[in-house]
Amino acid sequence: MKKCILAGLLIFATLLAQAAPMPAPKVQKINARVYALLGPMELPNKHNQGYMVNSTVIIGDKGVILVDTGFSDEIGKHLAQAIAKLTPKPVTHIINTHHHGDHTLGNIAFKGAEIISTQECKALVEKTGYEWIDQVQNMTGLKFPHTKPVPASVTVAQDTRTERVIDGVKLVLWAPKGSHTPGDLMVYLPDDGVLIAGDILTNRVTPSFRDGFVKTWIGTLEAIQKTPAKVFVPGHGPLMTKADVAAMHQRMASLYAGVEVGYKKGLNDAEIRKTLDLSQWKTMALFDENMGGDINRTYLEVEAANF
């Protein structure tokens, strides 16, 4: 009897958590047709229900181009409700900046939309999509039965810049060499002075290097600073200026250099961490969660480069 009551309470608690309102995106108007929808700066948990990513709304002549769609079908619908308050136009195009589930699994909520990504991103969504569903369910304690990976229908090659006009909006699909992931894609809007960077940029949040190529990523950050863009939309955290991009570039370059010095002294990654000045990183969200792995990933890359 007690087991039945306990099971009933657990089911009730799960249903109650799923019924609780998802945090609203912070809507930041960049100009008359470009809006950033900024998500919480935290890992997936029961309160945010997996919503913790930035998306960008670009309003075209007849429809909406949405960059990144969230971690689930439910989050995709949540974003759709926010978009409906900005414009009655439907989402006709989706651009995924990389394959991580928090940026792609909401694709399924936008039936009929053309989905654009790099070729590598498409392949990784197909390969790892269900792993990301398992991850968000484990981290939130919730189930997302309607969420399924939906890969891109249109792709671009890595290390290219492709100019397109979509629904009256001129944009450049900038696919750098692998940086945050093997299949990154940034979106540059030359007429708006806006660069949407996915997780190649993060602001006030410690980035994750888990799938990254740190030295190449540092080079990409240098290249970003040479663009005429004035506003930079990161994958997580507030909007950025060029000075913010320069600061991220400096932090990552300094981290890589410090790890390399330690490696050449014969130190392991744990020993190297004690030698690094991490004062700028410690003020950021997810420092404790990401920094150990970031140093380890950098160490392995330095080791390979010096082998």
For residue 90, is it within any domain? yes
For residue 270, is it within any domain? no
Q: What is the pTM of this model?
A: 0.93
For residue 271, is it within any domain? no
pLDDT at residue 16, as a whole number? 46
For residue 259, is it within any domain? no
Alpha-carbon distance values, 208 to 62, 100, 144 (Å):
36, 11, 24
Burial pattern 59-89, b for ≥16 Cβ within 10 A else e, equals bbeebbbbbbbbbbbbbbbbbbebbeeeeeb
pLDDT at residue 19, as a whole number? 57
For residue 81, is it within any domain? yes
Show Cβ contacts of residue 58 under 8 Å, excluding neighbours closer than 6 positions: 33, 34, 64, 65, 66, 67, 169, 171, 189
pLDDT at residue 202, as a whole number? 98
In 3D space, the residue among 120, 127, 122 whose CA is nearest the CA of residue 182 turns out to be 120
Taking a C-beta distance cutoff of 8 angstroms, is the pair 266, 225 a contact? no
- Please state, in angstroms and rounded to a whole number, the distance separating the CA atoms of residues 214 and 156: 22
Side-chain-side CA neighbours of residue 297 (13 Å) = 19
The H or E element that residue 165 is part of is: strand 160-166
- Please state, in angstroms and rounded to a whole number, the distance separating the CA atoms of residues 269 and 12: 45
For residue 101, is it within any domain? yes
- Please state, in angstroms and rounded to a whole number, the distance separating the CA atoms of residues 71 and 140: 11
pLDDT at residue 17, as a whole number? 47
pLDDT at residue 252, as a whole number? 98
pLDDT at residue 20, as a whole number? 80
Displacement of CA 52 from its chain's centroid (Å): 9
Angle 120-123-128 (CA atoms, 0-180°, nearest 5)?
Answer: 115
In 3D space, the residue among 78, 28, 51 whose CA is nearest the CA of residue 240 turns out to be 28
Mean pLDDT by 10 residues, the chain (307 residues): 46 51 97 98 98 98 98 98 98 98 98 98 98 98 98 98 98 98 98 98 98 98 98 98 98 98 97 98 98 98 95
For residue 132, is it within any domain? yes
Structure tokens at 111: 């039936």
Kindly report the backbone phi and psi dihedral angles of residue 49, in degrees, each rounded to the nearest multiple of 5, phi listed first.
55, 30
- Residue 113 belongs to domain spanning: 2-241
Alpha-carbon distance values, 270 to 213, 253, 302 (Å):
20, 19, 14
CATH of the domain at 220: 3.60.15.10
Helix (H, G, I), strand (E, B) or coil at 91: strand
Helices (H) and strands (E) in the chain, counts: 9, 12
For residue 256, is it within any domain? no
Task: Name the domain count of the chain.
Answer: 1
